[in-house]
Structure 1
Amino acid sequence: MQLSYTAYGTTGPAVVFLHGLMGRGRNFLTAAKALEDEYRCFLVDLPNHGSSPWTEDFDYEDMGQAVIEFIENVVLPETGEDSVVLLGHSMGAKTAMVAALRKPQLFTALIVEDMSPVSSKDSNFVPLLSALAGLDLEALSSRSQADAELEEAGVSDPTVRGFLLQNLRRSDSGFEFQANVKMLNSAVGDINAFPDFTGTAYDGPVLWMGGAKSNYIKDEHDEPMRALFPRAHKVMVKDAGHWVHSEKPEEFLAVLRGFLKQTADK
């Protein structure tokens, strides 16, 4: 599978960014532009998102392997490096953790944004994804109509509606989803899960950064996180929710820069 990506920066260590559910690589554009003078940033569209290929089902192991192959076949040849820093948010964070556990020598360091390596039955994103999948694309005449229908379906935050609607594009025949929305909506159980890596560990440095107002990193997650990532350093960003990089971009960048200086720059 050839993943779609955009790259920023021409010198320095490589940093690969993985977005969350219903996102795309360009969600990290602000961070990449802030770092491009010192790092080579690769913003990846994960499978079933953005401009990357669709699959018939959802599987973190397959996604992790796709990221590994992207790094081996694209990033390393382009940069001349033998390892990269991998950053993932939410679903992308689970994918990043899987990749690091499967092939640890490929990663100088790991950044996990607002996610834990656990399976969960509940997710705040389930009703949002359901609302998006419920849009009748054939009946849509405008993006503003789609926005109004999402609001009527219970998505009250206009910022969240805008995030969801980045997956809607107009074609010659009307509107269509750029992401594989129907499959993803049917796979919420798999998206909320995390593979069993008992007995495996990634021993490299890990920044475990979360939003203090989010519930994706809880105290009870410390033990499973440190079992798989013994060098995890937890930082909770004050007044941030699940999307730390967009809600608190300055604080996110400050923490990220500090970690990169300690790890990637050595």
Structure 2
Amino acid sequence: MRLNAVELGGGAPLVLLHGLFGSAGNWGAIQKRLAATHRVIALDLRNHGASGRAAAMDYPAMADDVAETLRALGAAPAAVLGHSMGGKVAMALALAQPALVERLVVADIAPVTYPPALRGYVAAMRAVPLPAGLTRREADAALAGSVPEPGIRAFLLQNLRFGEGAPQWRLALEEIAAAMPVIEGFPDLAGRYDGPVLVLGGERSSYVRPEHHDHIRSLFPAAEFATVPGSGHWVHAENPPGFLALVEPFLAR
């Protein structure tokens, strides 16, 4: 599947891969900053944003989407930066097709299986009534019972498009709901990626733990680890300067 791409800048290609429930637009100011030195290509992964829909959401399939898109854009090999689910896609791409990945940045995720903590968000979004005339305030109120954190509701509601008629989600919620067990996991891939790798964890996040480091190095022997200070899981959104202070020198090597 060729994915929807948002491009800025010129120079060596850099691909940005969002997390679950995200989109290319999530990278906003980060993409603009990195476009000063790179051709920055932010992608909508399958079942997200303006990209196509499909029942399969396993990581090899999503990595193949990225590979097909990079080739179509003449952007391979590229530096690849992925956050959360996008980080798993980036790792799967590097392991399966290392020639396409010049270097790799993995933001707050490890190649392991995580508990089903996010399934409630899918259920909450699916349960929001979408009558014609629904306002953003009403949609926010409908989510509040299941998603009490205002910041997370705002993030999820970025995917709800209002206009003529009834609002529509820019997410394939049925497909995502069915694929959650696969998304939470990570496949046992045979490859190894020997290129430069930077693994970033949020200071207040538990997604990348010390006990994950040996497993990560077994797949990515050159992996380096760094912490984005003062941030939770959304490292690039919660502390953009701290995130960029680690990413930009790595990309410039």
Distance 1:38 1:190 in 2: 35
Match of 1:109 among 103, 109, 114: 103
* 2:151 aligned residue: 159
Q: Deviations over 1:25-66 (max 9, x none)?
A: 111121111121211100100100010001023211110001
Distance 1:97 1:4 in 2: 20
Distance 2:166 2:108 in 1: 36
Moved over 3 A (4+): none
Shift of 1:140: 6.8
Establish whether residue 214 from structure 1 lines up as the match of residue 208 from structure 2. no
* 2:134 aligned residue: 141
**Aligned 8 A contact 2:116 2:181 in 1:** no
Q: How does 1:1-266 map to 2 (within 5 A)?
A: 1-10=1-10, 12-76=11-75, 82-120=76-114, 122-138=115-131, 141-153=134-146, 155-198=147-190, 200-262=191-253
* 1:79 aligned residue: none
Distance 1:124 1:235 in 2: 25
**Aligned 8 A contact 1:216 1:242 in 2:** yes
Shift of 1:171: 4.6
Distance 1:218 1:67 in 2: 27
TM-score (norm 2): 0.95
Distance 2:242 2:122 in 1: 28
State the aligned residue count.
253
**Aligned 8 A contact 2:132 2:165 in 1:** no
Distance 2:103 2:48 in 1: 25
Aligned AA (1:145)? E
Shift of 1:172: 3.3
Deviates more, 1:244-253 or 1:189-198: 189-198
The RMSD of aligned alpha carbons is 1.4
Aligned AA (1:2)? R
Aligned AA (1:3)? L
Question: SS of 1:50's equivalent?
Answer: coil
Q: Deviations over 1:157-201 (max 9, x none)?
A: 211111101111125330111110122122211110101024x21
Question: SS of 1:138's equivalent?
Answer: coil
**Aligned 8 A contact 2:87 2:109 in 1:** yes
**Aligned 8 A contact 1:197 1:228 in 2:** no
Q: What stretches of structure 1 of length at least 5 have no aligned partner?
A: 77-81
Deviates more, 1:136-145 or 1:22-31: 136-145
Distance 2:161 2:91 in 1: 31
Shift of 1:123: 4.0
**Aligned 8 A contact 2:87 2:106 in 1:** yes
Q: What stretches of structure 2 of length at least 5 have no aligned partner?
A: none
